[in-house]
Chains A and B, each alone.
Chain A
Amino acid sequence: MTSIPLEYYLVVAAVIFVIGACGFLARRNALIVLMSIELMLNAVNLTLVAFNRWYASHHVGQMFTFFIIAVAAAEAAVGLAIVVALFRLKRTVRTDSVDLLKN
């Protein structure tokens, strides 16, 4: 399992991260914004695992990825709860129609 260079993984991770960042900035559906955050977290995880495979004498990168997955699960749960509460209040999940703190 040594025929793919490290750079390929980093490029794939960078592409996924940029796609996720564009989705986070450009989309107006709160659910898709949350999914874009998950994409970015996954890209970072891939980078960490690839670098840990490069420095294979320890497992710190994989351990860090494990914790990031746990934090991402908590983040998704809280974010979706906020979306549900928002939908109860405004009957929409569009982020540009949420202006409770304006005015």
Chain B
Amino acid sequence: MINAIVEQGLFYVSALLAVAGALGTVASKSAIRSAMSLLATIVGIAGLYLTLSAQLLAAIQILVYAGAIVVLFVFVIMLLGGQVQPNQDKRTSSSRAIGAGLFALSAILAAVLVARAGLGGPHLFDPPRIEFGSVSELGRVMFTDGVIAFELIGVLLTTAIVGVMAVARTRHAKTNAKSKEVGP
């Protein structure tokens, strides 16, 4: 009984954090506020993983997203300057209205389709096996069924690192020299 109350509390707090963070990410004027809202979403989704007894994925979510990706975003915002840019939106009000109308139409269509699908009552989960979501189980699957994908991910990450260095490095020797002169 107390378990169910704790689980529901964790679910609702995490879901609220995730949805509110998503709204903040999309609606914030400044990029740094968006990044912080993205952090809230990521922490919320990690909490939802915990209620789904995916403990390893919750830890990886915090490590990779909050520890690496959001920090990368914050670094780039710092490099580019976090100033709020003036609104220079060139879209006309009629095109905005058409977009909003199409969005509302597709939302209604999706709601009707889901309602007609006849999914039946709420699907409650069975209690999980004790080792479900543990490091050893997931690791065993990853190194047996998914070993080719695992190796390919290694290749992909190496390629991405090389590509990032190729794209983001300075190509002009002059700007390098200038920035050295400016330094204290």
Contact = CB atoms under 8 A, between A and B. Distances in A.
Contact of A93 (B80, B103, B146, B157): B80
Contact of B167 (A4, A8, A52, A82): A82
Contacts of B51: 1, 4
Given A35-B73, A39-B25, A94 B85 contact: yes
Majority secondary structure of chain A interface residues (helix, strand, loop or mixed) = helix
Chain B, interface residues (CB within 8 Å), range: 35 or more
Interface residues of A, number: 68
Given A2-B125, A42-B45, A73 B53 contact: no
A8 to B, nearest CB: 7
Interface string A1-43: 1111111110010011011101101111101101110110010
15 contacts: A3-B8, A12-B15, A19-B22, A32-B26, A36-B25, A56-B125, A56-B129, A59-B141, A62-B133, A62-B141, A77-B160, A78-B164, A80-B72, A81-B168, A83-B76
